Amino acid sequence: MPMVDPHVRGHNGRPGIAGGVSANGHRFRALAWFALAGLYAIFARHLAAQFAFAIAVGPFLPLVQRLFFVCLLVAGFLGMSALSQRSVAPLTGLGLPVRPGLLREWSLGAVLGWAAIVCCVLPIALYGGLLVTGGRVNPGALGALLVDLATLLLAALSDELLFRGYPFERAMEGAGTTAATILLSLLFALSRSTNVGASPGSLLVALLLGFLLAMVYLRTRALWVGWGFHFAWIGSMALLFGLPVSGLTGFSPLWTTYTSGPAWLTGGGFGPEGSAVAILVLLGMLVVAAIATRELRHRWGLKEIVGAGIPMDVDAAAERQHTAAMGPTAAQPLAGTHLVQIGPAVGSSLLPGTPVVDPDREDHDHSSF
């Protein structure tokens, strides 16, 4: 039965298809690696928190914690990828392939994330519920802003590595793409369910956001666009508009703001991610993101052509067939044959389109000249 083999690589560096190995056994191993990755992430989060509390204080505590957590995730998932996907490039196994245009991909995601949160905040401002009480433009505030910026950048990366990176790949191998997408999106939403101000509406928003980021990953086979989107989404919310992020506050925004109005519009203490507006925005963003990543999908996301369960490189296969059919001496003239020149000899004064006359014929027409 044809199945995914981690030792067979497709054109995008992902595992190809091969036969001869039990499909159920492979799925079980993939799910075992998924479970191990989840347990390791819990351990890494706890260890990062302990390390941060031991060496950092004040505004640097969240930054150190996120930095150490990302380092632990990268190190652990690299090791797991090396053992479970030996033929896949290390960073590709994490969802961070080094490829041409990766900065452009990240920037595309950032633009989409910024546009999405603006669409969430704009109705609040039009309703008159966004109140700006003061700015924070001074050297001390700028330093705190940069620290928060780096913290949110790492927070977005850690979430993408955890919910759309190596564990997502193993879940897809073990349970299929649809089941893995639903499972990881649910886990992503549940990770925010205990935050201050969480509600069924905020859970639905987180679920849609997780589904959107998973879709972007599947279309691009990398975390670059999703990381950019996630960072711009939470960064703009916290630092540009000064609003709570999944119920979390205490950031250093450009200016201090407050919201007033119904919770379905503002999200209340949870922030825009708890509003009904965010649900509509993310549903629309599914279509926008699909269109924006169309070129990347054609370049990186399409699966290789598989014939009878065997990975096929169409160009290489065609070249091999041509070589086999023509033989190694196809370009050499046969022995004993004479070459016949077609057309005027080198140095001839005839121009293209000039009639050629046989001098041995007596019945030629001189009027041609």
Q: Which of 16-20, 208-212, 343-347 has the lowest mean pLDDT?
A: 16-20
Q: Is pLDDT larger for residue 142 or for residue 330? A: 142
Q: Give 17's pLDDT tier (boundaries 50, 70, 90).
A: very low
Average pLDDT over residues 223-227: 98
Residue identified by tokens 């506050």 is 249
Model confidence at 19: pLDDT above 70: no
Residue 336: per-residue pLDDT = 53
Model confidence at 119: pLDDT above 60: yes
Beta carbons of 124 and 273 less than 8 angstroms apart: no
Query: The pTM is what?
Result: 0.78
* Selection from 241, 209, 248, 225 nearest residue 297 by Cα: 225
Give the pLDDT confidence of 147-181 residue by residue, as tens digits. Answer: 999 999 999 999 999 999 999 999 999 999 999 99
Give CA 314 to chain center in angstroms: 25
Model confidence at 31: pLDDT above 80: yes
* Helix/strand/coil percentages in the chain, nearest 5: 60, 10, 30
Structural tokens at position 327 = 């033989």
